[in-house]
Amino acid sequence: MKRAFTAILLLALLTTGAVVAPSAASREPVRARHGIVASVSEIASKVGVDVMQRGGNAVDAAVAVALTLAVTWPSAGNIGGGGFMMIRRADGRTEVIDYRERAPLTASRDMYLNEKGEVIKNASTVGYRAVGVPGTISGLALALSRHGKLKWADVIEPARALAAEGFTLNHQTVRSIQGSRELLAKFPDSNRIYLRDGKYYEEGDTITQPDLAKTLTRLKEKGPREFYEGETARLIVDDMQRNGGLITAQDLKGYEPTIRNPLKGTYRGYELLTMPPPSSGGAALIEMLNVLEHYDLARMGWNSSAELHLLIETMRRAFADRAEFMGDTDFVKVPVAGLISKKYAAEIAKTIASDHATPSENIRAGKPVSYESTETTHFTIIDQEGNVVSNTYTLNNSFGSGVTARGTGFLLNNEMDDFTSKPGVPNAYGLLQSEANAIAPKKRPLSAMTPTIVLKDGKFVFAIGSPGGPTIINTVLQVVVNVIDYGMNIQQAIDSPRIHHQWMPDVVRWEPMGINGDTRAALMSIGQKLSDRSGFIGDAHGVMVEASTGMRLGASDPRLGGAAVGY
């Protein structure tokens, strides 16, 4: 009798989910005792684990993974772009290495406008003039020198070997290359390397990248400054000059990464360490979490129309602020403290109605515009000692500007499009931006990249980040809410369907099978505008520490077929 009662109780608990953690069907996170790397490329994740097994820490692994992704995930992994690396040492010290690209010295506010003052189509996205001064190599080198244990030559070797000896192309990499055929075909070296001059690669083919191997060999032998002052710099500058690009020897020589403190916020007793400007991501994330704190999400129910409505209204307001205020704080004043204050969030919460959508036009004037999907990549690493790296880096759009500088074997970014080409005119992500993000020499374009670390009582809980342009911020938001409000583990939190709203255009993006028909109808009945077609959002990779055992849990996003690998 007693046993039957226990069984019924257990069944009730499992079915209501009232006491046990909710469990949307999802594979278990990867479990490991020592360390884990979660990234979009299984080859890169394995390289990172191998580095840790050879005595390296999370930062050594991060540098090796970043360099490897430049070989195995060329749409976003890079040495010709930039990004942000958040490092939290086991003793709690945390810093961000900001290796975001900078505008060339001869860049100017209206450089993408024609004589009538109109934005020139593709000028900031395709080709040589779209390229910002790359920061990746100097950022990785700085991270290694401040926090690593291994030598530069050792962490670069796995990438060099993969470029020289080749690797097998998987489905996702082939698909990403095919998706950018038109862009890559415009530039001879890109056409030769990624499209084999029209003899397209197929899944299972081996790709070798001899030019890239040569570049990595030079960097290995001569050190990271080679990129900025040596043969690599010369190759970039020559190609820029031949093709009307702006980047000069002086630009490369003058590039320096910046060390920043993470932006801090709290959410329901957890502490967040996230990305300050020149990313808008951290401030928008904290602003949104502060608003959500006014509501009992768990009671509304995960993915209910009430909860989704609240998320949408919160996103809409935070993105309106992003458009208005954000830029590189080394150049313009951004009211970050105000945006992330609890008081400001309380005021925002008062403007949200539970029974109807607030049209974005009523929040701030603007015109609906379209968006397109593109690429960046994030990886997260934890080592045996408990050091953590959360790194997002990018060429901006998939395969960046499309340009492979002649003889270098690597792609150059089109990060200049993240600036405001003209206030009121949307960029490639449909984002409207202000004067605060206008182009100026050496300035960094505003980013949305949001590498984030979450703590409880000073102890590491999980780290997360994602690609996806503006959707990055909302992907990170939803992973944080999934863990904290709904008690999901890191894999469930990543697997769960996502939504995205960015104020303008006034439309909710949603994922295939992500919101059921009834819920969509309920949202539309209160004025939410859902996109006609669904599409995947983001590609988050995270690690978590299981409080009861100290086990490392790693999770890669199923959306692009990445892998978490542990040991």
Burial class of residue 380 (count of CB atoms within 10 Å of its CB; 0-12, 13-18, 19+) = buried
Nearer Cβ to ligand DON (506/557): 557
Alpha-carbon distance of 116 to 96, in angstroms, equals 41
Alpha-carbon distance of 274 to 449, in angstroms, equals 10
With binding defined as CB under 6 A, does residue 447 bind ligand DON? yes
Nearer Cβ to ligand DON (144/448): 448
**Min CB(17)–ligand DON separation in Å:** 33
Nearer Cβ to ligand DON (375/485): 375
Q: Which of 45, 360, 394, 491 binds ligand DON (CB under 6 A)?
A: 394
With binding defined as CB under 6 A, does residue 68 bind ligand DON? no
**Min CB(541)–ligand DON separation in Å:** 13
With binding defined as CB under 6 A, does residue 276 bind ligand DON? no
Alpha-carbon distance of 531 to 499, in angstroms, equals 11
Select from 192-200, 338-346, 444-452, 477-485 the region that touches ligand DON (CB under 6 A): 444-452
With binding defined as CB under 6 A, does residue 282 bind ligand DON? no
With binding defined as CB under 6 A, does residue 155 bind ligand DON? no
Give the footprint of ligand DON on residues 369-388 (CB under 6 A). Answer: 374-376
Cα 42–chain centre separation? 18
Question: What are 515's two structure tokens?
Answer: 């919101």
Q: In 70-88, which positions are buried (b, 16+ CB within 10 angstroms) versus exposed (e)?
A: bbbbbbbbbbbbbbbbbbb
With binding defined as CB under 6 A, does residue 130 bind ligand DON? no
Q: Which of 140, 411, 448, 493 binds ligand DON (CB under 6 A)?
A: 448
Q: Which of 215, 248, 376, 471 is catalytic?
A: 376
Nearer Cβ to ligand DON (486/536): 536
Residue 158: left (phi > 0), alpha (psi -120 to 50), or beta?
alpha
**Min CB(419)–ligand DON separation in Å:** 11
- Residue-by-residue DSSP string for 423-453: TTS--TT-----GGGB--TTPPPPB----EE
With binding defined as CB under 6 A, does residue 251 bind ligand DON? no
Cα 410–chain centre separation? 20
**Min CB(401)–ligand DON separation in Å:** 12
Nearer Cβ to ligand DON (208/531): 531
With binding defined as CB under 6 A, does residue 390 bind ligand DON? no
Strand stretches in 23-136, DSSP E: 30-32, 36-39, 82-88, 94-98
Select from 56-64, 226-234, 261-269, 445-453 the region that touches ligand DON (CB under 6 A): 445-453
Residue with tokens 């769960």: 496
Nearer Cβ to ligand DON (419/460): 419
**Min CB(41)–ligand DON separation in Å:** 15
Give the footprint of ligand DON on residues 465-484 (CB under 6 A). Answer: 467-469, 472
Alpha-carbon distance of 136 to 143, in angstroms, equals 11
Alpha-carbon distance of 316 to 353, in angstroms, equals 13
351 within 8 A of 317, measured Cβ to Cβ:
yes
**Min CB(67)–ligand DON separation in Å:** 19
**Min CB(119)–ligand DON separation in Å:** 18
Size of the site for ligand DON (CB under 6 A): 14
**Min CB(96)–ligand DON separation in Å:** 14
Nearer Cβ to ligand DON (144/446): 446
Residue 77's H or E segment, with its range, is none
Other CB atoms within a 10 A radius of the CB of residue 233 amount to 21
With binding defined as CB under 6 A, does residue 101 bind ligand DON? no
Alpha-carbon distance of 58 to 71, in angstroms, equals 20
With binding defined as CB under 6 A, does residue 396 bind ligand DON? yes
Burial class of residue 2 (count of CB atoms within 10 Å of its CB; 0-12, 13-18, 19+) = exposed
Residues 6+ apart with CB under 8 A from 112: 119, 120, 123, 124, 416, 421, 422, 439
Question: What are 394's two structure tokens?
Answer: 């990018």
Nearer Cβ to ligand DON (80/467): 467
**Min CB(100)–ligand DON separation in Å:** 8
383 within 8 A of 61, measured Cβ to Cβ:
yes
Give the footprint of ligand DON on residues 410-429 (CB under 6 A). Answer: 415, 418
Nearer Cβ to ligand DON (84/227): 84
With binding defined as CB under 6 A, does residue 45 bind ligand DON? no
Q: Any catalytic annotation for residue 376? A: yes
Q: Which residues would be at the binding site for ligand DON (CB under 6 A)?
A: 374-376, 394, 396, 415, 418, 447-449, 467-469, 472
The catalytic site residues sit at: 376
